C-alpha cells in the first residue's frame, strides 16, 4: 500500500506537494496520518519517512513495526513513540544490512542527533512529560504537532547524512 501517487504525490485526500522539501513532505504526511488516518505517533512518523525517503517497506509493515511504540512504548508514557520511530527510520535508511557489516556510524550518529534535536525542541523525550500539562481535549492536536515536527526533524537529519 502506497500513500502517494506517482506524479502528484497526493492520495486519498493527503495534501503533500511534490515541490515541497523532503522535510516539509515528511512533516505534512506524518501530521495528516496522525490527524486524519488514525495512525498513532510512531506509525505516522515511520510511514512518512519510509514514504518520502523510499525506505522500501510496505506501509502495512511500517505500521506493524512501529505500532507497539504508540503512547510512549506500549501506552506506558515512556519515550515518545514519534521519537522512537524516528530512530527506527534512521536505522532503516542509514543502518547496516547484515550482521557481517560494521556498525553504521552514520545511523548511530543520526540517532544521537535526532534524540538531541527532539529534546532541545520539546524539552522532554518522555511521552507523559510532553503531555503532562496539556488538557485531554487538546492532546490530539498537541501530539499531532509533535508527530509532524519529529518527522521533519528526522528528515533534516537524514538529508544531511545522505549527502
pLDDT in tens, the chain (163 residues): 345 443 334 444 556 677 789 999 999 999 999 999 789 999 999 999 999 999 999 999 999 999 999 999 999 999 999 999 999 999 999 999 999 999 989 999 999 999 999 999 999 999 999 999 999 999 999 999 999 999 999 999 999 988 6
The answer as to whether 6 is a domain residue is no
Does residue 126 contact residue 79 with C-beta atoms inside 8 Å?
yes
Task: Note the pLDDT of residue 104.
Answer: 87
Please tell me the total count of domains within the chain.
1
The answer as to whether 79 is a domain residue is yes
The answer as to whether 140 is a domain residue is yes
What's the domain range around 154?
Answer: 22-161
The answer as to whether 135 is a domain residue is yes
* DSSP letter, residue 126: B
Question: How many angstroms separate the most distant Cα atoms in the chain?
Answer: 49
pLDDT tens profile 2-35: 454 433 344 445 566 777 899 999 999 999 999 9
Does residue 5 contact residue 22 with C-beta atoms inside 8 Å?
no
The answer as to whether 69 is a domain residue is yes
Distance CA 38, CA 140 (A): 11
Neighbours of 96 (CB within 10 A): 14
The answer as to whether 148 is a domain residue is yes
The answer as to whether 16 is a domain residue is no
Amino acid at each position: 500500500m502506497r500513500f502517494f501517487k506517482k506524479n502528484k504525490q497526493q492520495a486519498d485526500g493527503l495534501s503533500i506537494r511534490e515541490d515541497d522539501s523532503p522535510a516539509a513532505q515528511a512533516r505534512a504526511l506524518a501530521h495528516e496520518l496522525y490527524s486524519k488516518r488514525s495512525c498513532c505517533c510512531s506509525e505516522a512518523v515511520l510511514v512518512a519517512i519510509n514514504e518520502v525517503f523510499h525506505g522500501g517497506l510496505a506501509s502495512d509493515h511500517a505500521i506493524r513495526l512501529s505500532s507497539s511504540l504508540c503512547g510512549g512504548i506500549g501506552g506506558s508514557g515512556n519515550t515518545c513513540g514519534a521519537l522512537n520511530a524516528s530512530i527506527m527510520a534512521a536505522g532503516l535508511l542509514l543502518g547496516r544490512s547484515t550482521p557481517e557489516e560494521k556498525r553504521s556510524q552514520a545511523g548511530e550518529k543520526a540517532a544521537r542527533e535526532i534524540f538531541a534535536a527532539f529534546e532541545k525542541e520539546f524539552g522532554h523525550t518522555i511521552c507523559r512529560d510532553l503531555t503532562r500539562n496539556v488538557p485531554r481535549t487538546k492532546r490530539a492536536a498537541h501530539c499531532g504537532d509533535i508527530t509532524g515536527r519529529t518527522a521533519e526533524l528526522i528528515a533534516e537529519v537524514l538529508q544531511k547524512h545522505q549527502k
